[in-house]
Amino acid sequence: MGKFVFKETKIKGLYLIDVTAFGDERGYFMETYNAADFRSAGLQYQFVQDNQSSSRKGVLRGLHFQKKYSQAKLVRVLKGEVFDVAVDLRRGSETYGQWVGVILSEANKRQLMIPRGFAHGFLVMSDYAEFAYKCDELYHPEDEGGLKWDDPDIGIEWPETEELVLSEKDKRHPSLAELKIEF
């Protein structure tokens, strides 16, 4: 049995990845990335930066992207549970403006491989979550971009939450129609 099961979503290039965990009375072990396995699945990335964040229930981070220095991201949850979303911003794509949302959790150990040209964000559904991701381009603070999390033209179906916590920056992102970026 392979260590990874790669499932392409309804959006070309966006993959949900199931990981095989080997467990016993001590706990478990799993590979979260293997360049040869990813390459054989057609996913050829050279990751250059790892990031990790922690958030409490109701925190919505996103929808973020880098403008000039676009990043592909391999994302997963270390603790807790999130609703993770990727929005296709590739202008020539058949799925431009469409989104995919998946539950990522420490229990299901799933990952999402997000190619360049997508906005990304997540909503924390558990009391606390730790989120980790690998990027194939370095982060450039001056290159940040964002997309309105509740743009009605995109229509993301976020899970209901008692409290929604957004950064001031994330409250001010433009809609898809207002974006002036091309990937």
Q: Which active-site residues does the annotation give?
A: 64, 133
Strand partners, 77: 131
Question: Can you spell out the DSSP letters for 115-128?
Answer: -SSEEEEEEE-SSE
Asked if 159 and 83 count as a contact pair (C-beta separation under 8 A), the reply is: yes
Compute the distance between CA of residue 137 and CA of residue 131 in angstroms, rounded to an integer: 18
CB 101 within 8 A of CB 112: no
**Is 16 within 8 Å of 9 (Cβ atoms)?**
yes
Q: Which residue intervals of 24-115 are DSSP H helices?
A: 35-40
Cite the DSSP H helix spans in 29-137. 35-40
Secondary structure element (H or E) that encloses residue 73, with its range: strand 73-79
Distance CA 164, CA 56 (A): 10
